[in-house]
Structures are given as structure tokens and as C-alpha cells.
Amino acid sequence: MSDIVKKILISEEEISKRVRELGDQITKDYQGRELLLIGILKGAAFFLSDLSRTIKIPITIDFMSVQSYGSKSESTGEVRIIKDLDFSVQGKNVLIVEDIIDSGRTLAYLKRNLLNRGAESVRISAFLDKPDRREVDVHVDYIGLKIPNEFIVGYGLDFNEMGRNLPYIAALKDEIYR
Ligand code: IMP
Ligand code: MG
């Protein structure tokens, strides 16, 4: 176990089982259509890489990177685009792929932004959901797992850029968090 980790909350096996189930559901729901997956860097790169390989219809992939103003724990709700998409979303069926939904501000902003650019449809997949933390009402179409309000790392999620590559999802050691 990594030395920044207090406790493993979701194992590698549980993650891959749940990702496969989401991929099967997305495959069914988008049968006969083309789908554009938009991964939100950097955290969602890991989930997107696994999820995209379980989807059995033609897909294309693009990435965006965004940052919320304010500190990590107190987002002001303003979102800034750090890296924009390579291609237009005009007329496309878009699935936003995100690592976690917390306050919901990032995903609410992104959904509005992509619809404003003329996407045909915009749905959201977030691998993790902290429902207790929600400040903005945003519908998540494909949720991996709901988790309690605790700061976690692994499977793309970081603490000061550490821990993204852990293959499981884990709570941080208290002395690191402080
Ligand atoms: P929201 O706009 O508050 O929903 O922010 C979601 C973003 O906050 C995610 O994309 C993560 O980058 C970050 N985040 C939220 N909770 C955690 C956590 O427990 N560990 C690491 N990053 C987190
Ligand atoms: Mg993120």
C-alpha cells in the first residue's frame, strides 16, 4: 500500500467491475449513434481510458482542462478553461467523463458551456459522487459509486498532484492532509 494512504475504500477489482457495467449501459443507450467522450483533465484520464475500452460503439475522444477559482475546498463557482477542445461539438452527442462530482459546479458549468456551443446532446458520467457536498443541482446520467464526504486519492484523483496513479481509491493519511 502507498505510504500516503490511510485506508483503501474501493479496490481495483471493484473499480473495473463497475466501469464495465457503465460501459455496457452506455453501449446500449447510444446504440446506432456516434458518441464523443470529453475527458476532464487530469483526473478523468484514467477513468476515460478504461471506460472507453468497454464501450462497443464508434466513439471519438477529446479533452478539456478546467480550473475553479478559489481554494480547493471553497470553490467560488467560477470556472476557467485551461485547455480547450481540439474539435467542434456542433451537432455531436457528447458524454462528459469526469472523475468525481463534488459541489457540482464544474459539471454544471461544462454542461452549459457545451450546450451553448451547439452540441446535439450532453450527458455526464462521473465515476465517483459525493452527494453530501452538492451545492448546484446537476443531473449525472452515469454514476460509478457514491462515497461519503472524505478526501480521497487514486484512480486519477490527487492531493497536490500526488496519488493519481494508485490503482485503487483510498483515504489519505491524516498527517498528509494537514
Ligand atoms: P466540483 O466542481 O466541486 O464538483 O469539483 C469537482 C473536482 O474537485 C474534481 O474534478 C476533483 O478534481 C476535485 N475533487 C473533489 N473531491 C475530491 C477528492 O476527494 N479528492 C481529490 N479531488 C477531489
Ligand atoms: Mg478534476
pLDDT tens digit string along 76-106? 678 999 999 999 999 999 999 999 999 999 9
Q: What pLDDT is stored for residue 72 in this prediction?
A: 56
Joined grid coordinates for residue 137: 443541482
Residue 31 pLDDT more than 60?
Answer: yes
Distance of CA 13 to the CA centre of its chain: 19
Residues pairing with 162 in the sheet: 159
Joined grid coordinates for residue 138: 446537476
Please give the single-letter amino acid code of residue 120. Answer: E
* Cα 115 to ligand 1 centre (Å): 22
Q: Exactly one of 50, 99, 102, 129 is catalytic; name it.
A: 102
pLDDT per position as a tens digit, 150-176: 999 999 999 999 999 999 999 999 888
153: CB partners within 8 A, 6+ apart: 4, 5, 159, 162, 163, 164, 166, 169, 170, 172
pLDDT per position as a tens digit, 52-76: 999 999 999 999 999 987 655 556 6
φ and ψ at residue 33, rounded to 5 degrees: -120, 165
* Cα 33 to ligand 2 centre (Å): 28
Joined grid coordinates for residue 143: 454514476
Ligand 2 (ion): residues with CB under 5 Å are 43
**158 has catalytic annotation:** no
Mutational pocket test of ligand 1: of 157, 158, 164, the residue with most ligand atoms within 8 Å of the beta carbon? 157
Distance of CA 27 to the CA centre of its chain: 18
Q: What pLDDT is stored for residue 1 in this prediction?
A: 78
Which ligand sits nearest to residue 68's alpha carbon? 1
Mean of all residue pLDDT scores within the chain = 94
